[in-house]
Chains A and B, each alone.
Chain A
């Protein structure tokens, strides 16, 4: 079990060395996952909020389906995106397979249900609280959505971070649609998978440690921005 003990020092060594190749991989991971989560949030938050404030037949089925889609297997999403973007597939002409854009597309599909489901839950609670007040002000259902989303913006940071956690940690989808091509589509997770398959377990574990530190840094940054904004808003 010396692997665990040495991996942390190994990770620190890698960070301190400032290896350009490692930083390029870290940058690509962040770029792909953050872009994917931001796009997903733009789709999922209005969608989740709309589902929260509207009532229609079969709504419960939609809610159950949305919650279930949070468990989409990354490999299946990767395979679906591969079949769409492959040169033999319907979107082959776009020539997106084995590019960072393809990885972003796959992660958007993975992350959208997660953000939408958490948003739906959050906004539904808020709507129950404010429904009467908003009605007395004559706010229509469609105007309610941006109001509630804005009001819930700090609570929705959790939805954003849950989506980011999923995106930055998954390997199944990006390795299929990205191809783990050196200097082009190699991310933290695919590098860890590659080093594991080379039998370089200490290096793989060290890269895993860096990935976890990265996730902590992003979470801390978002929380800090949120707290500061909140303290200004409510000061």
Chain B
């Protein structure tokens, strides 16, 4: 009786699993910021309605997203680290890169502001003060787009953060949300994209302390994975998504997405 029951359960469980593969869908390798901010949940249903193509999003850091796409595990790449994206295309992994939208990075910090940088709009000077005060700073440390942008800014400030790793400079090796949870927990400064911060639900006593520096510009790009490299890439449906995203409808959908009355991403595709 026991074995028959188990077999019965096994059969009923195994059957529906097979049914998942038949639909028309593409897989997009993207970053946590586009998912955690709620943008993709807001715009993808519109694309589905217009084209009948379901978009399945794997949201990881930009570094991991690019590596997954290099393995052919995705049809489209939507990330935010222009130098890495251009290298991805130049190495033949992607067809062509298009600007999609931008927002900006901000530095958030505790209310006590131990480095005294609140209200600053000079990010390089602010990072210098954080290093000087040895105030805790939580970094992504995960090779993501945000992490790469942060490292470029430390570089500009002439500070070798790897020497301070484990003291006041703390690399979480995690996604944006997890790093913000850590940062608010330990009273550390964190550099984050504005969209994730606005949509974040565990701000604690943290607030934006540095913003408005043009060096904290954050550009997102979209690339079709090269079907000549990986024949499983759904080139036609993937291209349809790229075209929609940089076309009038996709750009309007991005502009319309707001959280708490604030626009999170600003469309800037060429020709839109």
Q: Does A90 contact B (CB under 8 A)?
A: no
Q: A86, A89, A179: which contacts B56 (Cβ < 8 A)?
A: A179
- Chain B 233-254 against A: per-residue CB contact (8 Å), 1 yes, 0 no? 0000000000000000000000
Residues B20 and A201 in contact, CB atoms below 8 Å apart: no
> Which residue of chain A has its CB nearest to the CB of B175?
A197
Chain B residues whose CB sits within 8 angstroms of the CB of A198 once the complex forms: 36, 177, 199-201
Q: B2, B14, B36: which contacts A197 (Cβ < 8 A)?
A: B36
Chain B residues whose CB sits within 8 angstroms of the CB of A101 once the complex forms: 17
A-B contact pairs, 27 of them (CB 8 A): A34-B9, A38-B10, A38-B13, A86-B73, A87-B71, A88-B71, A88-B73, A97-B73, A98-B56, A98-B73, A99-B20, A180-B59, A181-B57, A181-B58, A182-B41, A198-B177, A198-B199, A198-B200, A199-B180, A199-B200, A200-B202, A201-B201, A201-B202, A225-B2, A225-B5, A229-B1, A229-B2
- Give how many B residues have a beta carbon under 8 Å from the other chain's beta carbons: 40
Residues A38 and B9 in contact, CB atoms below 8 Å apart: yes
Residues A199 and B230 in contact, CB atoms below 8 Å apart: no
Chain B residues whose CB sits within 8 angstroms of the CB of A229 once the complex forms: 1-2
Q: Does A196 contact B (CB under 8 A)?
A: yes
Which A positions have Cβ atoms within 8 angstroms of B? 31, 34-35, 38-39, 41, 86-89, 92, 95, 97-101, 104, 153, 179-182, 184, 194, 196-201, 225-226, 229, 232
Q: How far is the CA of A153 from the CA of B32 in the complex (A)?
A: 46
> Which residue of chain B has its CB nearest to the CB of A100?
B17
Distance between B237 CB and nearest chain A CB, rounded to angstroms: 15
Q: How far is the CA of A179 from the CA of B56 in the complex (A)?
A: 9
The verdict on A196 contacting B181 (CB below 8 Å), with A86-B71, A182-B41, A184-B56 known, is: yes
Q: How many Cβ-Cβ contacts under 8 Å join chain A to chain B? A: 96
> Which residue of chain A has its CB nearest to the CB of B197?
A199
Residues A35 and B181 in contact, CB atoms below 8 Å apart: no
Distance between A174 CB and nearest chain B CB, rounded to angstroms: 13
Chain A residues whose CB sits within 8 angstroms of the CB of B163 once the complex forms: none
Distance between B257 CB and nearest chain A CB, rounded to angstroms: 16
Chain A residues whose CB sits within 8 angstroms of the CB of B178 once the complex forms: 196-197
- Chain B 28-39 against A: per-residue CB contact (8 Å), 1 yes, 0 no? 000010011000
Q: How far is the CA of A87 from the CA of B68 in the complex (A)?
A: 9
Q: How far is the CA of A194 from the CA of B73 in the complex (A)?
A: 21
Distance between A93 CB and nearest chain B CB, rounded to angstroms: 8
The listed residue with most A CB atoms (<10 A of its CB), out of B2, B20, B71, is B2
Residues B10 and A226 in contact, CB atoms below 8 Å apart: no
